[in-house]
Amino acid sequence: MVVFSVYVVNKAGGLVYQYDNYSPRNDVEKTFSYPLDLVLKVHDERVVVSFGQRDGIKVGYAVLSINGFDVNGRYMADNRDVLEYLNTSFNYPLAIRFGRPRLTSNEKLMLASMFHSLFAIGSQLSPEPGSSGIEVLETDTFKLHCFQTLTGIKFIVLADPRQAGIDSLLRKIYEIYSDFALKNPFYSLEMPIRCDLFEQNLKVALEIAEKAGTFGAGS
Name which of 67, 72, 99, 103 is nearest 86 in CA terms: 67
Q: Determine the Cα–Cα distance for residues 63 and 136; give it in Å rounded to an integer.
A: 33
Number of residues engaging another protein in binding (CB under 8 A): 27
Residue 93, preceding peptide bond in cis (omega within 30° of 0): yes
Q: What whole-number distance in Å separates Cα of residue 198 and Cα of residue 178?
A: 9
CB of 145 to another protein, least distance (A): 15
Q: Which is nearer to another protein, 18 or 148 (CB)?
A: 148
In the window 132-161, what residues touch another protein (CB under 8 A)? 132-133, 148-153
Residue 144 Cβ, how far from another protein at the closest point, in Å?
16
What's the closest the beta carbon of residue 130 comes to another protein, in angstroms?
Answer: 6
Cis bond before residue 35 (omega within 30° of 0): yes
Q: Which of 32, 75, 85, 174 touches another protein by CB under 8 A?
A: 174
Does the footprint of another protein cover residue 125 (CB under 8 A)?
A: no
Residue from the set 39, 95, 120, 191 that interacts with another protein by CB under 8 A: 120
Note whether 191 binds another protein by CB under 8 A.
Answer: no
Q: Which residues, 11 to 50, sit near another protein by CB under 8 A?
A: 11
Contact between 157 and 219 under an 8 Å Cβ cutoff? The reply is no
CB of 131 to another protein, least distance (A): 6
Q: Compare residues 142 and 147 and give the one whose CB is closer to another protein.
A: 147
Q: How far apart are CA 129 and CA 145, in angstroms?
A: 21
Residue 151, SS3 per DSSP = coil
Kindly state whether residue 198 participates in binding another protein, applying the rule CB under 8 A. Answer: no
Q: Among residues 68, 127, 130, 218, which is the contact residue for another protein, using CB under 8 A? A: 130
Query: Closest Cα partner for 173 from 159, 188, 186?
Result: 159
Question: With b meaning 16 or more CB within 10 Å and e meaning fewer, what string describes 138-173?
Answer: eeeebbbbbbbeeeebbbbbbbbeebbbbbbbbebb
- Beta carbon nearer to another protein, 44 or 179: 179
What are the residues binding another protein (CB under 8 A)?
11, 116, 119-120, 122-124, 129-133, 148-153, 171, 174-175, 177-179, 182-183, 189
